[in-house]
Structure 1
Amino acid sequence: MLSSQLPDIAEASSSERVYVALGNSIEKAVSLLNWVFESLGTRQICLLHVHRPSPLIPTLLGKLPASQANAEVVSAFRREENERTKKLFDYYLIICRRAKVEATIVTIESDQVHKGIVELVNRHGVRKLVMGTVKENCMKVKKSSCKENYAAKHAPLFCEIWFINKGKCIWTREASENSNLLQGSFSSTISSCASGCTSTEMRVSSGSDPKVEEESSYSHIEEVSLEAEALGNEAFEELLKCKTLELEAMEAFSKVKIYESALVHEVKLRKEAEDALNNTIQDQEKLLKEKDEVARKLERTMRNVALLDIRAQEANHRCEEASGELKLIQTSILSLRQEEQRIRRQKMEAVHWLERWRSPGQAGTANCNGFLGITEELPELAEFSLSDLQTATCNFSESFKLGQGGCGQVYKGEMLGRTVAIKRLHPNNMQGQSEFQKEVQVLGKLQHPHLVTLLGACPEAWSLVYEYLPNGSLQDRLFQKNNIAPLTWKIRTRIIAEISSALCFLHSSKPEKIVHGDLKPQNILLNSELSCKICEFGICRLVTEDSLYQPSFHWSTIPKGSFPYTDPEFQRIGVLTPKSDIYAFGVIILQLLTGKPPAGLVGEVRRTRKLTSILDPSAEWPMIVARRLVDLALQFCELSSRGRPDLTPTLVRELEHLHVSEERPVPSFFLCPILQEIMHDPQVAADGFTYEGEALRGWLANGRETSPMTNLRLDHLHLTPNHALRLAIQDWLCKY
């Protein structure tokens, strides 16, 4: 084989062709080629490459040694390696053609790159070689393992080698001066090898100088030592590789076992899944049969529902006819009543004018006395002088001032051996003078435990002397002015009963009914035992049966009631009646229940769905008591006075019993699970539980289709009235 290469060697020697050792790194190869093109200026080069086959073959079980892998897999991988190498050198040839340099390729396959390079140099008689090198520190650390150092030591001396790093020539191994002799020796060696001669004969033909022979022997021994050392290192590396491959093989075998066990488990799971699928199919068929049966039942039910709808429509039609007839009857009755009232008013007016016509002076005096409620039998009030009041109040000192109203100031003083409250009206206020006369004439003749007591008057100073109540007004106590303790539910209920008792007394007085006209928490005072008394009668009215039909009678004074407590009917038509006090009383009840300001309170309570959300938590209201008071207060606050109930003794007694009653335990099945309140419209849902109808409809209206109790999806959203439970709740409420 070597003899066949001799013409090539001779041709290479004569043409001074440059050989460039290239690897798989494109960046380094391009750098070497550019240096050759720029520095040597040659137009013919030979690309030299040592292909190192990979010792490990990638398989499905990981990388295995080539000896243990399948032969077809190894062959395919080798073809893939050769294809990559071919594509790489095609790219190198393209670079050379672009530089207008003729290039050929010489390759060899070897496990060690540095030995492959030296073998190619010897085989082709390379005289000029360009190869890459590493940094200097690498050569210092491990020179014997670097292919550059090996090539410098073992390449023939006639070969000039340039070592290039990053486009720069690091160093050059010059060719020996005896390069021609060595070249001839190299040629004779090849010829001798081709003809079967020994290496000893080659050395004899080269020359017989003993010194040269000694140096050659020494270099040969050194070369053999280096080769032995390199072979030892290679053997150690191969041993490590074998151990690594053994470990990888064991790991691969364990993976195979794991895969086999996983396959068995997967087969088991697949069988279980098939069984479950069969069971599911059977259940589905059963459900389909049940669905068909239910569909048939539903069809029968829908036919029955259609019949019931027809009957219901007939019943509704009859009900509408009956309602129309009832409305006609009610309209007729109302017309008769209005006619009767009109005739009665005309009769009373005729009698009134007849009496005035007969005796104008006597009739006017009697009417005035009856209107003002003055009688001769009642004792006269005590009269005080201005000096008495100045002494009691330190000349009306600001430190004794309790407050200021629309008609004057209120002072605290000491008179008659007790603490009193002195109300001083503005002297120039004609309305105040009227109120002064009114309160003197009315309060002086009224005696009730829950009306403030008038002790005397001072006409000189337009002042009234009342009893003093130390705990201030209900307004201050309700909104905890000065951080006072809140009122309990029992105290609040007792105050409601006391207010109702006082109003019932005023509204049932004879011969004229008395209307307070300015009922609000500021005008309800509390004594030391937190019992209430109503004050501020400056705008009260005396209302007779005749005056109810004479609106102009009520414009003698201007009411000063606060707007939230003012009767809407009075604001509309200007008629002040006992029902006006009842409206204000209803607003006060709602304030005691909720602890909130009066503005908009009636509407807020009407709109609320959950009573506990608006109750004052500091009072700890029992639900039975709170529910009854809310219902009563909303009746009192009806916009039309006809819808408001009268304060009867029976109603007053009921309120008096509320504040002394303890809360009774409510059966749990009477409470709505959502609101936790007694149900008034119990409805059964699809989950079998009973809820308050309004609460459950609100639950479903928000897009929820699950049970409030079980959180499971409801089969349907239809509600069924629970009449039995509703009757039981009504019986329980009536009983207690």
Structure 2
Amino acid sequence: ENQLQEANHRRKESSEEYKLIQASVATLKIEKLTVQRQLFEAANWLDRWKVRGQTRGISSTALRLTEFSIEDLETATCGFSESFKIGYESYGSSLYKGEMSNRTVMIKKLHQNNLQAQQEFQEEVEVVGRLQHKHILSLIGMCDEAHALVYEYTPTNLESHLSHKTNSYSMSWKSRTRIISEIANALLFLHTSRPEKLLHGNLSPENIVLDSQLCSKLCNFRFSKLVNEETFRCRSFRQYSEPSSNGHYLFIDPEFLQTGDLTAKSDIYSFGMIILWLITGSRAAGLANEVRRAVSGSNLVSVLDASAGEWSGFVAKRLADLGLRCCDSNSADRPVISLVMVKELEQLSMLEDRTVPSSFLCPILKEIMHDPQLAADGFTYEGEALRGWFKNGRETSPMTNLKLDHLDLTPNHSIRLAIQDWLCNP
């Protein structure tokens, strides 16, 4: 009887406290996020203004690029020797590894007799040459005579590394989560650029390179013509409409394949599929549907890539939900990359290094709550876990083992916002 009275008293106190906290915290949270977004946009605009300047030409001086001679490139590659060639790209361009100024570089030599390649050369210099971001491959210099571009060298890409082509060990779930946050960071930089937004348009594991520290960088942009404020037209999109043998088509927005129009939501779709690929290790057709079924059936662990180690259930669920939202078949329902999203992703990879407040942990799962729900006993649980508790025929409190007055659940917005704030502000 004493336990029952104590539980009822606790429930009343929690209910009153919940209403007060919910109202105040929600208001403060909205104001805080608004200020953070405004500060970030202002800082990003200032950086863009400094880097891009006022001109639109492709002068290497204006773009702060080193201008190399064809002799410099021939020396670095032994006359563009086949033994220095490391790959190919679009329109017949060849990739070489070379040594210049005591550093290893990648030289991209475009086909000089290809009109499309010449146009790509100019666009690549003008666009990529102006980008300065730690998660975008740096363009070091150019050689107009040879139609060649000199990039920083990276030893591998995400596709090769994860498929064990270049390493004898697998990538941990924490590293995968960190890389997801890095990709989001780069996309945020592009999509919020001024005076006009930039798109990647060609996001896939092959076009995400890794340096020696496994830091990811975006490369191989698909250049497109601006149609309006939100839409770009890709001149040769038909070449991407046929499924490739390595499953590259899996990461391409279906709407883009139909129309040739690129939008920021096209990048979001590719980002979502990369998330699902990283957490499952699968390139299977229908991957999104497979993950969606696993999530709805509370069996996400069945599709997670076991080679990444023992996943944090909270992190895996967060990533799966984000990936599914990003690759929604309706582009209007896909989220936009935001500062809040990037900061939360950054913290997900570091959860094990931080002490988690006990109020953020589900009493049943002992993990951070993704969907905190307040029960009749005054305690907050992970919604999915408590519904599973009820589904098994139980009508008692998981904490007190006393019969609950009712089985209704109330979303605990104050706890959810507190968790989000904790994730975004280490």
**Could you state the TM-score of these two structures normalised by the residue count of structure 1?**
0.41
Question: In the TM superposition, what are the counterparts of 1:189-268 in structure 2 within 5 Å?
Answer: none
Contact 2:111 2:147 (8 Å CA) reproduced? yes
Alignment partners' CA distance in 2, 1:566 and 1:371:
34
CA separation of 1:496/1:685 partners in 2, compared to 1, >3 Å: closer, same or farther?
closer
Deviation at 1:630, TM superposition (A): 0.7
SS in 2 for 1:428: coil
Q: Which residue number corresponds to residue 476 of structure 1? A: 160
CA separation of 1:375/1:402 partners in 2, compared to 1, >3 Å: closer, same or farther?
closer
CA separation of 1:384/1:558 partners in 2, compared to 1, >3 Å: closer, same or farther?
farther
Contact 2:238 2:257 (8 Å CA) reproduced? no
Q: Which residue number corresponds to residue 540 of structure 1? A: 223
Question: In the TM superposition, what are the counterparts of 1:102-113 in structure 2 within 5 Å?
Answer: none
Amino acid aligned to 2:125: V
Name segments (4+ residues, structure 1) moved above 6 Å: 369-372
CA separation of 1:606/1:687 partners in 2, compared to 1, >3 Å: closer, same or farther?
closer
SS in 2 for 1:679: helix
Deviation at 1:483, TM superposition (A): 4.4
CA separation of 1:568/1:389 partners in 2, compared to 1, >3 Å: closer, same or farther?
same
CA separation of 1:612/1:732 partners in 2, compared to 1, >3 Å: closer, same or farther?
farther
Q: Which residue number corresponds to residue 519 of structure 1? A: 203
Q: Which residue number corresponds to residue 495 of structure 1? A: 179
Q: Which residue number corresponds to residue 614 of structure 1? A: 303
Contact 1:587 1:633 (8 Å CA) reproduced? yes
Q: Which has more helix, going by share of residues?
A: 1
Contact 1:518 1:559 (8 Å CA) reproduced? no
Contact 2:234 2:262 (8 Å CA) reproduced? no
Q: Which residue number corresponds to residue 280 of structure 1? A: none
CA separation of 1:434/1:371 partners in 2, compared to 1, >3 Å: closer, same or farther?
farther
SS in 2 for 1:626: helix
Aligned equivalent of 1:569, options 237, 241, 255: 255
Alignment partners' CA distance in 1, 2:406 and 2:269:
35
Amino acid aligned to 1:602: A
Amino acid aligned to 2:237: I
Deviation at 1:506, TM superposition (A): 0.6
Question: In the TM superposition, what are the counterparts of 1:331-410 in structure 2 within 5 Å?
Answer: 373-374=56-57, 378-407=62-91, 408-410=93-95
Q: Which residue number corresponds to residue 638 of structure 1? A: 328
Deviation at 1:567, TM superposition (A): 1.0
Alignment partners' CA distance in 1, 2:211 and 2:364:
43
The answer to whether 1:579 aligns with 2:269 is no
SS in 2 for 1:498: helix
Q: Which residue number corresponds to residue 147 of structure 1? A: none
SS in 2 for 1:426: coil
Contact 1:381 1:457 (8 Å CA) reproduced? yes
Contact 2:273 2:327 (8 Å CA) reproduced? yes
Deviation at 1:555, TM superposition (A): 4.5
Amino acid aligned to 1:466: Y
Contact 1:381 1:456 (8 Å CA) reproduced? yes
1:105-124 superposed Cα distances (whole Å, 9 cap, x missing partner)? xxxxxxxxxxxxxxxxxxxx
Alignment partners' CA distance in 2, 1:686 and 1:423:
61
**Unaligned 5+ runs, structure 2:** 1-51, 241-247, 368-381, 397-404, 420-426
CA separation of 1:687/1:599 partners in 2, compared to 1, >3 Å: closer, same or farther?
closer
Alignment partners' CA distance in 1, 2:386 and 2:332:
25
Q: Which residue number corresponds to residue 457 of structure 1? A: 142
Q: Which residue number corresponds to residue 441 of structure 1? A: 126
Q: Which residue number corresponds to residue 390 of structure 2? A: 684
Contact 1:452 1:533 (8 Å CA) reproduced? yes
CA separation of 1:686/1:489 partners in 2, compared to 1, >3 Å: closer, same or farther?
closer
1:205-227 superposed Cα distances (whole Å, 9 cap, x missing partner)? xxxxxxxxxxxxxxxxxxxxxxx
CA separation of 1:467/1:555 partners in 2, compared to 1, >3 Å: closer, same or farther?
closer
Contact 1:511 1:544 (8 Å CA) reproduced? no
**Unaligned 5+ runs, structure 1:** 1-368, 691-719
SS in 1 for 2:265: helix
1:15-69 superposed Cα distances (whole Å, 9 cap, x missing partner)? xxxxxxxxxxxxxxxxxxxxxxxxxxxxxxxxxxxxxxxxxxxxxxxxxxxxxxx
Q: Which residue number corresponds to residue 647 of structure 1? A: 337
The answer to whether 1:623 aligns with 2:302 is no
Alignment partners' CA distance in 1, 2:150 and 2:70:
12
RMSD value, Cα: 3.2
CA separation of 1:416/1:624 partners in 2, compared to 1, >3 Å: closer, same or farther?
same
Alignment partners' CA distance in 2, 1:546 and 1:424:
32
Alignment partners' CA distance in 2, 1:586 and 1:650:
17
CA separation of 1:732/1:509 partners in 2, compared to 1, >3 Å: closer, same or farther?
closer
Question: In the TM superposition, what are the counterparts of 1:22-33 in structure 2 within 5 Å?
Answer: none
Aligned equivalent of 1:669, options 361, 364, 376: 364
Q: Which residue number corresponds to residue 117 of structure 1? A: none
CA separation of 1:413/1:727 partners in 2, compared to 1, >3 Å: closer, same or farther?
same
Contact 2:58 2:125 (8 Å CA) reproduced? no
Q: Which residue number corresponds to residue 239 of structure 1? A: none
Alignment partners' CA distance in 1, 2:286 and 2:54:
36
Aligned equivalent of 2:274, options 569, 580, 588: 588
SS in 2 for 1:605: helix
Alignment partners' CA distance in 1, 2:391 and 2:180:
40
Q: Which residue number corresponds to residue 233 of structure 2? A: 554
Alignment partners' CA distance in 1, 2:386 and 2:392:
19
Contact 2:225 2:234 (8 Å CA) reproduced? no
Amino acid aligned to 2:251: Y
Deviation at 1:403, TM superposition (A): 1.5
Alignment partners' CA distance in 2, 1:448 and 1:411:
23
Deviation at 1:456, TM superposition (A): 0.9
SS in 2 for 1:723: coil
Contact 2:188 2:339 (8 Å CA) reproduced? yes
The answer to whether 1:528 aligns with 2:212 is yes
Amino acid aligned to 1:628: R
Alignment partners' CA distance in 1, 2:239 and 2:344:
31
Alignment partners' CA distance in 2, 1:516 and 1:487:
25
Alignment partners' CA distance in 2, 1:391 and 1:657:
45
SS in 2 for 1:481: coil
Alignment partners' CA distance in 2, 1:686 and 1:444:
60
Q: Which residue number corresponds to residue 285 of structure 1? A: none
Amino acid aligned to 2:153: Y
SS in 2 for 1:411: strand
1:422-466 superposed Cα distances (whole Å, 9 cap, x missing partner)? 111222322222211111111111111111110111222221100
Deviation at 1:559, TM superposition (A): 7.0
Alignment partners' CA distance in 1, 2:111 and 2:293:
44
1:81-122 superposed Cα distances (whole Å, 9 cap, x missing partner)? xxxxxxxxxxxxxxxxxxxxxxxxxxxxxxxxxxxxxxxxxx
Alignment partners' CA distance in 1, 2:226 and 2:163:
34
CA separation of 1:457/1:680 partners in 2, compared to 1, >3 Å: closer, same or farther?
farther
Q: Which residue number corresponds to residue 602 of structure 1? A: 288
CA separation of 1:661/1:541 partners in 2, compared to 1, >3 Å: closer, same or farther?
farther
Contact 1:515 1:578 (8 Å CA) reproduced? yes
1:467-521 superposed Cα distances (whole Å, 9 cap, x missing partner)? 0113x00001111114421111221111111111111111111111111111001
Deviation at 1:590, TM superposition (A): 0.7
Amino acid aligned to 1:617: A
Deviation at 1:525, TM superposition (A): 0.7
Identity of aligned residues (%): 44
Deviation at 1:381, TM superposition (A): 2.1
Matched residues, number:
329
Alignment partners' CA distance in 1, 2:302 and 2:383:
11
Deviation at 1:547, TM superposition (A): 6.0
CA separation of 1:546/1:624 partners in 2, compared to 1, >3 Å: closer, same or farther?
closer
Alignment partners' CA distance in 1, 2:392 and 2:285:
42
Contact 1:473 1:526 (8 Å CA) reproduced? yes
